[in-house]
A and B are shown apart, each in its own frame.
Chain A
Amino acid sequence: MEQPNLSYIHSMSGGDKAFEQKLIAIINAEFPEEKKEYFKNLAAKNYKLTAGNVHKLKHKISILGLEKSYETAVAFENNLLEGRTTLQDEFESILTTMTNYLQQL
């Protein structure tokens, strides 16, 4: 499976290590909250709100260099907007990969 990386963060930080640390800290603070909202709205079958959560999460997927996973998230978001949960397992697997990666940074 595709693995996260910090290529994008390095490319846009211009070598500013303090900023890189700050950005990772922000992602680490924001990501669990966004996941929580996602699972809450999904459990309530509020797929429109869940699509909004996926929309927000997919930015972080792209920041961590997960290009194929990003496409999965786009497709899953569209499915949710049509009231379907197809690709849910694949999307949640991406979230798990990101969670594990962020924990070790």
Chain B
Amino acid sequence: MNCIIIDDEATARAIIGQLCSNVDSLTVLEEFPNAMQAIKYLNQNEIDLIFLDIHMPDFTGFDFIETVKNPPKIILTTSDPNFAIQAFEYDCIVDYLVKPITPARFQKAIQKAEATPNKSSHTDESSSEKVESSSGNDLYVNIDRRLIKIDIPSIYLVEAKGDYIHVKTEDKNYTVHSTLKKIADKLPDSIFLKVHRSYIINVDKIIDIEDNSVLIKKDVIPVSRSNRPELMKRLNLL
């Protein structure tokens, strides 16, 4: 099996690389310190198996899986045992290795990967958000007990981060204790689109689109497979 390793920690990449070198059926083609580089590589190369870290800055392992079209088999490698249930919502994930990875546990994961036929990725297609138009051009957000007015068309990006959302506008950014769903209900669907479970973008502000991501201002935003058709429909394509 041809494989790649995605992990922001060099030590982890070295250990997984060494464990792979002890398995005749595995060939490590590339290692990547972040998911975005790996996505570009996957757009041009056929891979059988990915060793994927979950905790990476900016773009997590789950963001990566949501973004890649037809992901190959994936073995998650993480120091955090708490994502196991979430992990098995994805058909492409064949095993979940908690660091430090022992040779015996690694062997078992490889056997599972070899025994697993190739499948497509995500089983949950039910999370379509309802987007409703807002009648006015202003949105008020509660920050430190003040209601601050934001001009809706100036918003170019909304990003979910835990219990907060970051609202980015032409001249200022705001961090608000709210959810993506709540703000989606307040933004007009004529210009805003949820492109990923963590991102809503202003379609008018897109600079360019690559296969699985959009550039908006200086932010590269992942586009999940399920949201991509709607994005493409909204573009005035030549």
Do A and B actually bind?
yes
List A residues at the B interface (Cβ < 8 Å).
8, 11-14, 16, 19, 22-23, 26-27, 29-30, 48, 52, 55-56, 58-60, 62-63
Q: Mark B186-219, 1 if CB is under 8 A from A, else 0.
A: 0000000000000000000000000000000000
Q: List 27 A-B contacts (CB under 8 A).
A: A8-B100, A11-B103, A12-B15, A12-B102, A12-B103, A13-B18, A14-B22, A14-B103, A19-B18, A22-B14, A23-B11, A23-B18, A26-B10, A27-B11, A30-B9, A30-B10, A52-B57, A55-B55, A55-B80, A56-B55, A59-B79, A59-B100, A62-B79, A62-B100, A63-B11, A63-B15, A63-B100
How many Å from the CB of A67 to the closest CB on chain B?
Answer: 10
Question: Which residues of B are found within 8 Å of A62, using beta-carbon distances?
Answer: 79, 99-100
Question: Is the CB–CB distance between A30 and B11 below 8 Å?
Answer: yes
Question: Is the CB–CB distance between B14 and A23 below 8 Å?
Answer: yes
Main secondary structure of the interface of B (DSSP, over half): loop
CA distance A8 to B80 in the complex (A): 18
Q: Mark B67-80, 1 if CB is under 8 A from A, else 0.
A: 00000000000011
Cβ-closest chain A residue relative to B9: A56
How many residues on B have C-beta within 8 angstroms of the other chain's C-beta atoms?
A: 20
Main secondary structure of the interface of A (DSSP, over half): helix
CA distance A27 to B19 in the complex (A): 17
Q: A12-B102, A62-B99 are in contact. Are A23 and B9 (CB under 8 A)?
A: no
How many Å from the CB of A79 to the closest CB on chain B?
Answer: 15
B26 proximal to A (CB < 8 A): no
CA distance A55 to B10 in the complex (A): 14
How many Å from the CB of B75 to the closest CB on chain A?
Answer: 16
List B residues at the A interface (Cβ < 8 Å).
8-12, 14-15, 18-19, 22, 55, 57, 79-80, 99-103, 162
How many Å from the CB of B23 to the closest CB on chain A?
Answer: 11
CA distance A63 to B102 in the complex (A): 10
Q: A55-B55, A58-B79 are in contact. Are A26 and B99 (CB under 8 A)?
A: no
How many Å from the CB of B2 to the closest CB on chain A?
Answer: 22
Question: Is the CB–CB distance between A26 and B100 below 8 Å?
Answer: no
Question: Which residues of A are found within 8 Å of B101, using beta-carbon distances?
Answer: 12
Question: Is the CB–CB distance between A60 and B11 below 8 Å?
Answer: yes
Extra contacts besides A8-B100, A22-B14, A59-B12 (13): CB < 8 Å: A12-B101, A12-B102, A23-B11, A30-B10, A52-B55, A55-B80, A56-B9, A58-B79, A59-B99, A59-B100, A62-B79, A62-B100, A63-B11
Question: Is the CB–CB distance between A59 and B9 below 8 Å?
Answer: yes
